[in-house]
Amino acid sequence: MKRVVTGNYAAAFAAMRARVNVVAAFPITPQTFIVEHISEFVNDGIMDCEFIRVESEHSAMSATVSASATGARAFTATASQGLALMHEILFTASGMRLPIVMPVVNRTLAAPIGIWAEMNDVMPERDAGWILAFVEDNQEVHDMVLQAYRIAEDNRVLLPMMVNLDAFILSHTVEPVDLMEPEDADRFLPSYKPEHAYLDPERPMGVGIFTPPEYIQEERYQTHAAMEGSKQVIKEVNDEFAKMFGRDYGGLVEEYRMDDAEVALLTLGTVTSTAREVVDNLRAEGKKVGLVKVRFLRPYPTDEIRSVASRVKAIGIYDRAISYGVGGPAYIEARSALYGHTDIPISNYLAGIGGRDVMLSDIEFMFNDLLKNAESGKVRKELVWINTRGVEQ
> In the CATH scheme, what architecture does the domain 2-245 have?
3-Layer(aba) Sandwich (3.40)
DSSP state of 130: -
In the sheet that holds 346-350, the strands lie side by side as 253-256, 289-294, 263-267, 314-319, 346-350, 383-385
**Res 161: pLDDT:** 98
**Res 1: pLDDT:** 87
Is pTM, for the whole model, over 0.95?
Answer: yes
- CA–CA distance, 329 with 94 (Å, rounded to integer): 21
| Closest of 204, 68, 222 to residue 149, by C-alpha | 68
**One CATH from 3.40.50.920, 3.40.50.300, 3.40.640.10, 3.40.80.10 for 253-385:** 3.40.50.920
**Res 201: pLDDT:** 83
**Res 195: pLDDT:** 81
Identical topology for domains 2-245 and 253-385: yes
- Chain centre distance of CA 26: 21
**Res 254: pLDDT:** 98
- Chain centre distance of CA 201: 35
Are 298 and 329 within 8 A, CB to CB? no
For the stretch 14-51, pLDDT in tens is 999 999 999 999 999 999 999 999 999 999 999 999 99
| Closest of 188, 197, 151, 163 to residue 18, by C-alpha | 188
Judged by DSSP in three states, 336 sits in helix
End-to-end distance of the chain based on CA atoms, in angstroms?
46
The residues of the chain scoring below 50 in pLDDT are none
**Res 117: pLDDT:** 98
CA angle 44, 45, 48 (to 5 degrees): 130
Query: Which residue ranges make up each domain of the chain?
Result: 2-245, 253-385
343-381 burial code (b ≥16 CB/10 A, e <16): ebbbbbbbbbbebbebeeebbbbbbebbbbbbeeeebee
Q: Pairing relation of β-strands 131-134 and 296-298?
A: antiparallel
Residue 172 — φ and ψ, nearest 5°?
-115, 0
For the stretch 231-274, pLDDT in tens is 999 999 999 999 999 999 999 999 999 999 999 999 999 999 99
**Res 40: pLDDT:** 98
DSSP state of 344: S
Identify residue 384 by its one-letter amino acid code: V
